[in-house]
A and B are shown apart, each in its own frame.
Chain A
Amino acid sequence: MTEVVVVTLIKTAIILFALLTAFAYLTLFERVVQARLQARLGPNRVGPFGLLQPAADGVKLLFKETSGPATRDRFLYLAAPVLSLAVAFTAFTIVPVSGPTDLVVLGHRISWYVTNTNVGVLFYFALTSLGVYGIFLAGYASNSKYSLLGGLRSSAQMISYEMSLGLSLVPVFIVAGSFRLVDIVNAQRTWWFALPLLPAFIIYMIAGIAETNRAPFDLPEADTELVAGYHTEYGGMKFALFFMAEYINMVIVSSIATVMFLGGWWGPFGILPGPWWFLLKVVAVLFVYVWLRATLPRLRYDRLMQLGWKSLLPLSLAMMMATAVVVVAVQR
């Protein structure tokens, strides 16, 4: 029992550290890739190739004066970013980074995930639904009109896209026959689900981008209309928490995409060890995020809702039915 607790604590610490590093370098990755796509150089001054830029940004935000609107709801104003970030961190516990064999350290068998719960993916959905509260409460607690509009937009957006997000993963459960992420990855040993379930994968990616409020669905923080949306009134470290939550959510959506559709730790050739394949695939998905942001204009709010409810939702339902019918037919 003690061993389990200690191992879990160590793993949690590693995840915290890894996710924070991933966040820091994801910001740099995004800025450099976007700069290259936009005929610019991007950050290259701080440290070799600008590698210390995230540290400089962090220090800057840490030393900023904390201020906020006088009429804010003090408790919720502080609680909102904390909630956003906590939810983002927790979701990563179910992601299996490698497998199928456990890691052996000093005679102890250690699995490549914190928990392999039997409702794995449902746990992830539960957490992303909680993420809405962080953003909505921030909009409400700021007591500012722009923030409120941003908060309302994002709650509507996240709730409607969660439906498609969830339904797009149902075909995967049907084919894999399990909710456990480890089982799902193991089912993809020969065929990545992205190939037979391509429509579901595309729906998941679109819904995932909307879920994380990234361009072209970055309406809650549409900087040119709502100034900065729900975090207009946030500054310094409190803003950084939202920023972290957004980027960590990106990492998580990409990780789930990797686990569900891109074969997790399985590589087409056995050259690289499992964790590297996993990392490579996550980075590839993140690159798509950045690429889209550099290319596409932003959707309008009502069109976004139309896309979610009238296109993605029926499509994912149809995909679910089709998969079920095919699987049953094959089993017969």
Chain B
Amino acid sequence: MADTFTQTLPEGVEARELGSEWMELNMGPQHPSTHGVLRIKLKLDGEVVRDSDMDIGYLHTGFEKSFEDKTYAQGIPFSDRMDYLAPPINNVGFTMAVEKLLDLEVPPRAQAIRVIMMELARIGSHLIWLGTGSLDLGAVSTFLYCWREREQILDLNEAYSGVRMMTSFTRVGGVAWDLPPGWLEQLQRFVDLFPSRVDDYEALLTNNPIWKQRTVGLGTISAAEAIEWGVTGPVLRGSGVDYDVRKAFPYCGYEQYDFNVPLGRAGDTYARYLCRVQEMRESIKILDQAIRTLPDGPWITDNRKVALPPRDELPQSMEAVIHHFRLVSEGFKPPAGDVYAFVESPRGELGFYMVSDGSNKPYRVKVRPPSFCNLQALSKMIEGRLMADVVAIIGSIDIILGDVDR
């Protein structure tokens, strides 16, 4: 056929094969299911995704550069705002990097408080993932149930730090405040209640045939590919790779707690869903143990070169006043060097690479954001899938655009 056409064509006109054209669809940045301002350029063949191109940077705020302009202590509130669904974990990650520069010991009570706050944040973040992820697939009620439980976590945050989301509760060498009276009882009530709520979510989703149809076998990534792409967190564990920073490189005394790292096998959206739901249960186990084993003692280091002296020392000790003045006016100066401190965020390995030139401000801070690395694998996961699966798969990666763009 093609030959006959070429023969009849006038000179100078080239024959072109008749074919179908792919439709280019712009998903985002204002789209309800991209979990923020992510823009994906999709090439669709009908409803099948043939090619995709991620466009990020809409939420770029220059946090890494801003760190360089602030003293170490002033950097803590910036860290909250990168991953705004799990701020305590970012606080701890940033503070740990500074403590590593200083080679500073953190008192056990402060460590335990950090663990409690981090696990609460993990549950809160997973709740948002579950809520929005199921909303993407049309399960509206689960979304509101998750919000109801997250409210209790925010109340706990507020009771402890005065702020519902951006806690900024760490200080270099410990935490800012001791736990207020009655707080542990409030936490205990939440810990007692929450497992039954997870049962409720699972009753709605885990064995629901529609939910399984929408998640099983979708967005599959093998263990080898996941490692190649630098994917971490539940996305990696859903593919069966046993890597959790809390177990592999324990920090804040995670080695004292008895908990499991849930692993999937299939590496699909459903496996990641199961992993995260189990992680919520494991976090509750950690919280339960932390309440029972919470040590007494100071909640911040007594190293006066780093941490502010207690207020009652100020009227009595000239030395305390001098330390207070130095810390408030110019901060402390860690020795020159570079460190990498990393924690397990709900999304994966969150790392802070920090370079000190010996001054009171970091020379360079580079964040290794889990969302950014996990997002890179998205193109591969959605290729050849239906447009409707794209939202399910984005949801299962659990990205936070603040964390991606910084």
**B-side interface mostly:** helix
Contact (Cβ within 8 A) B204 A218: no
Contact (Cβ within 8 A) B388 A222: yes
A40 at the interface (CB under 8 A from B): yes
Chain B proximity mask over A289-327: 1 for CB below 8 Å, otherwise 0: 000011111111111000000000000000000000000
B336 at the interface (CB under 8 A from A): no
What residue in chain A is nearest B132 (Cβ atoms)?
A224
Contact (Cβ within 8 A) A215 B138: yes
With most chain B CB atoms within 10 A of its CB, the pick from A216, A222, A297, A301 is A297
Contact (Cβ within 8 A) A225 B141: no
Contact (Cβ within 8 A) A303 B213: yes
Contact (Cβ within 8 A) B210 A38: no
A145 at the interface (CB under 8 A from B): yes
Chain A proximity mask over B112-151: 1 for CB below 8 Å, otherwise 0: 0000000000000000000000111111110011001000
Q: Which of A271-300 contact B (CB under 8 A)?
A: 293-300
A7 at the interface (CB under 8 A from B): no
CB contact under 8 A between A224 and B47, given known A38-B144, A299-B210: no
CB contact under 8 A between A302 and B145, given known A149-B47, A224-B135, A225-B33: no
Contact (Cβ within 8 A) B386 A302: yes
Contact (Cβ within 8 A) A297 B139: yes
B32 contact from A149, A223, A293, A295, Cβ within 8 A: A223
CB contact under 8 A between A297 and B211, given known A39-B148, A216-B138: yes
What is the CA–CA distance of A34 and B145 in the complex, to the nearest angstrom? Answer: 13
B227 at the interface (CB under 8 A from A): no
Interface size, chain A (Cβ < 8 Å): 28
A37 at the interface (CB under 8 A from B): yes
A227 at the interface (CB under 8 A from B): yes
Q: Which residues of A contact B214 (CB under 8 A)?
A: 297-300
Q: Which of A122-175 contact B (CB under 8 A)?
A: 145-146, 149
CB contact under 8 A between A295 and B141, given known A145-B23, A224-B135, A225-B388: yes
B137 contact from A37, A38, A297, Cβ within 8 A: A297
Contact (Cβ within 8 A) B141 A298: no
CB of B209, distance to nearest CB on chain A (Å): 10
A225 contact from B134, B213, B391, Cβ within 8 A: B391
Residues of chain B touching chain A, judged by Cβ–Cβ distance below 8 Å, are 23, 25, 31-33, 47, 134-141, 144-145, 148, 204-205, 208, 210-211, 213-214, 386-391
Q: Which 4 A-B pairs have the closest CB atoms?
A: A298-B138, A297-B139, A38-B144, A224-B33
Given pairs A39-B148, A216-B138, A297-B138, 20 additional interface contacts (CB within 8 A)? A38-B140, A38-B145, A39-B145, A40-B144, A145-B25, A149-B387, A219-B388, A224-B391, A225-B136, A225-B391, A227-B31, A293-B140, A294-B140, A295-B139, A296-B138, A296-B210, A297-B208, A297-B210, A299-B214, A301-B386
